[in-house]
Chain A
Amino acid sequence: MDLLIANLAHGFGVAFSLKNLAFCLLGCLIGTAIGVLPGIGPVATISLLLPITFGQEATTAIIMLAGIYYGAQYGGSTTSILLNLPGEVSSVVTTLEGYKMARNGRAGAALAVAAIGSFFAGTVGTVLVAASGPILTEVALSFGPWEYFSLMLLGLIISAVLAQGSVLKAIAMVVLGVGLGLVGTDVQTGQQRFTFGIPELSDGIGFVSIAMGMFGIAEIILNLERPEAREALKTKVGTLWLTKEEWKRATPSVLRGTALGSVLGILPGGGAALASFGSYMMERRMSKYGHEFGTGAIEGVAGPESANNAAAQTSFIPLLTLGIPANAVMALMVGALIIQGIQPGPRMVESQPDLFWGLIASMWIGNVMLLIINLPLIGMWVKLLEVPYRYLYPSILIFCAIGVYSLQNNVFDVYQTAMFGIFGYMCAKLRLEPAPMLIGFVLGPMMEEHLRRAMLLARGDPMVFLQRPISGVLLGIAAIALIAMLLPNLRKKKDEALAG
């Protein structure tokens, strides 16, 4: 406990430097802005800004990128409540009760409970990351290549199982990502694989190119094809505070949402979107006021908004302790760390204490900042929606182009990104999810390394994966997750939860 406090104090020391504070604020501001704007999400934004972070110190860069992710959870709720327009996937369910509340004249209360619930959940999430980090790291240090391989396999399977739509296609996309990750120089033999004699491919396909193409460029085209439906703010916000009755009703929902979100955030493949859907379902069933759902029940805002923010924080746990990304945003964080020359994994706590504890402290500071920049400045954020998409998309395109070029000062990356844009568009039309592919792409090369080492040590006997207890249990969970999704009943529930 004393050690934890000492570590946190060290973290706050790092996070309170002027530069880190400034970039934390910048990240939160950008996050809120893209959270408010539909059509651009945290994945696209972070891949857009990745090149900009190269010149910075690793700690500062990660602090800013993290701010974008959890900032987007705050911003997304604002437009959901006021305009029935979810800025992010994770705030789709907030429209259900939040917008109804706004129409009942309780917009201020809905916004307040969303922000306060998010802040509470964010605080709990941050403490969880700080407390579990060192413990999980201990465990992870005893892992051999078998455990790592099984854990990554579990992560990939769960991320596919929890993805939207068909599990089978999601697994296929994961495997496709693993396949794309194989392009480049084989680490052990130095042989060029699938490079077609192109020197630019010998370091592998650019991670940023894939992320920007599939999440940035493809999104632009899809958004342009959709007719733009934006309305001006008609509802009055009213007082930004809760009545006594509302406090009483919202508090248990915030607690439940925080607990559920924290758990779902840690799961590989989980994250903010799943947590908010799950919490909405839970509130509708568990709340005493379940019959009021659909007419503007405050529980339906308090629960999901707390859950998505808790999940946004705790999804850092697998990344920081095991080096395994739980979702597409975390996959981008792995990319950012590797570009900075830091291998994410259990050794990070010891080798990069500034980064680890500084990031945790900054997450809490960021949550305070978000509370301040969100509630009083809500009018300003809603104004942002008046910027038409026709001015937005060429700007996103330009930032993508310059950003990806500046990675290696090579136009090949620009063309490569354009190609992945077309591919991403095709995938969207065929309902092939890009997020599992990105996770597969990041984890693939690591899995290959562990698999080769494990099989060499085991003299070519694959049974060793089942004989090692931890590895066996992880594989067992993976198998159960897969089988569970084959049951039609459960699958229907998942589809319902994800479709809202």
Chain B
Amino acid sequence: MRLNAKDLAGAVLLMLSKAQRTIRANAKDLAGAVLLMAVAIVGFWINLEDHAIGTARRMGPGYMPMLAFGLLAALAALTFILGLFNGPDPLERWTQAELLAVVGGLAVAIAVTWVLALQPGLISRNWYPLGLGMLAGCLVFSIPPRWRKLGLVTAGMVVFGLVLEIGGLFLAIALCIGVAAVADETQTVKGTLALILFQIVLCWFVFIKELDIRVNIWPQF
């Protein structure tokens, strides 16, 4: 029996192309499954460490978390397996700068929060470390244009939290809108200023005059 090399190569190529057509990975599902799996594993592990499970008859505080995170892990695994075949649904391609910004932003946020939280004194109280950490992270995030909208809108929210108690409501509104406005290229300086003024008046009326929430409106010294 003689093997025809040409036929063999043809058959292999055919098989490969068939395999390529049948194995269609769904990148979105795979990434989602990994995210859910990570939550499940962390939750399951913390639960085992910290909480008494109890028995089915007398459930302890750890019983329901065990069920929930166990089920989540199973569902994530199933999503992952099915995700190998039900694509293709590729994720949008990231450039190197974009990837760096995500990793860098996360690292900066954690590092800043960590370092500031260990400082004695005023800055380590009232969630300032968390706020400053998140702000730093968001700003790193905003370096590539792709994440600018995500980074700056979130940063606007964080700035509001940082400024509110020392700077007062009006300053917090102004800075929050100022930061968030940069996220949209069509925004003009004049328009932003007008919007800030309008929002200050509106928020004063709704939240201070009508609802009377307890918050400083002017900076505290």
CA distance A1 to B185 in the complex (A): 61
Residues of B within 8 A of A188 (CB): 61
Contact with A along B65-95 (1 / 0, CB 8 A): 1001101100110110010000000010000
Using CB atoms, name the residue of chain B closest to A431. Answer: B28
CA distance A175 to B131 in the complex (A): 29
Residues of A within 8 A of B203 (CB): 398-399, 402
**Judging by beta carbons under 8 Å apart, are B215 and A414 in contact?**
no
CA distance A179 to B70 in the complex (A): 10
Residues of B within 8 A of A460 (CB): 55-58
Known: A397-B156, A406-B211. A411 touches B165 (CB 8 A): yes
- Say yes or no for A451: interface residue by CB 8 A criterion: yes
Known: A390-B187, A418-B134, A430-B31. A398 touches B211 (CB 8 A): no
For the complex formed, measure the closest distance between the CB of A197 and the CB atoms of chain B, giving whole angstroms: 11
Residues of B within 8 A of A172 (CB): 36, 72, 75-76, 79
CA distance A414 to B82 in the complex (A): 37
Chain A contact residues, majority secondary structure? helix
**Judging by beta carbons under 8 Å apart, are A401 and B157 in contact?**
yes
Residues of B within 8 A of A427 (CB): 32
CA distance A169 to B35 in the complex (A): 12
**Judging by beta carbons under 8 Å apart, are A455 and B61 in contact?**
no
In this complex, which of B68, B149, B214 has the most chain A Cβ atoms within 10 angstroms of its Cβ?
Answer: B68
Using CB atoms, name the residue of chain A closest to B42. Answer: A194
- Pick the residue among A176, A179, A225, A394 that contacts B177 (CB under 8 A): A394
Residues of B within 8 A of A207 (CB): none
**Judging by beta carbons under 8 Å apart, are A405 and B195 in contact?**
no
For the complex formed, measure the closest distance between the CB of A450 and the CB atoms of chain B, giving whole angstroms: 11
- Count CB-based A-B contacts (< 8 Å): 191
Contact with B along A254-274 (1 / 0, CB 8 A): 000000000000000000000
**Judging by beta carbons under 8 Å apart, are A178 and B164 in contact?**
no
Contact residues of A between 174 and 233, Cβ < 8 Å to B: 175-176, 178-179, 182, 186, 188-189, 191, 193-194, 217, 220-221, 224-225
**Judging by beta carbons under 8 Å apart, are A411 and B29 in contact?**
no
- Say yes or no for B206: interface residue by CB 8 A criterion: yes
CA distance A175 to B202 in the complex (A): 40
CA distance A293 to B28 in the complex (A): 35
Using CB atoms, name the residue of chain B closest to A53. Answer: B211
For the complex formed, measure the closest distance between the CB of B58 and the CB atoms of chain A, giving whole angstroms: 7
Known: A168-B75, A182-B68. A390 touches B186 (CB 8 A): yes
**Judging by beta carbons under 8 Å apart, are B61 and A221 in contact?**
no
Known: A172-B79, A189-B60, A397-B156. A405 touches B161 (CB 8 A): yes
CA distance A455 to B54 in the complex (A): 12
**Judging by beta carbons under 8 Å apart, are A179 and B72 in contact?**
yes
Contact with A along B43-62 (1 / 0, CB 8 A): 10011001100011111111
Provide a sorted-by-A list of 21 A–B residue pairs whose CB atoms are within 8 angstroms: A166-B29, A172-B72, A172-B75, A175-B71, A179-B72, A182-B64, A191-B51, A391-B191, A391-B195, A394-B176, A398-B203, A406-B211, A409-B215, A414-B157, A414-B160, A415-B130, A425-B150, A429-B28, A432-B35, A451-B64, A456-B58
Spell out A's residues near B (CB within 8 Å). 52, 55, 166, 168-169, 171-172, 175-176, 178-179, 182, 186, 188-189, 191, 193-194, 217, 220-221, 224-225, 388-391, 393-395, 397-402, 405-406, 409, 411-412, 414-415, 417-419, 421-422, 425-427, 429-432, 444, 448, 451-452, 455-456, 459-460, 462
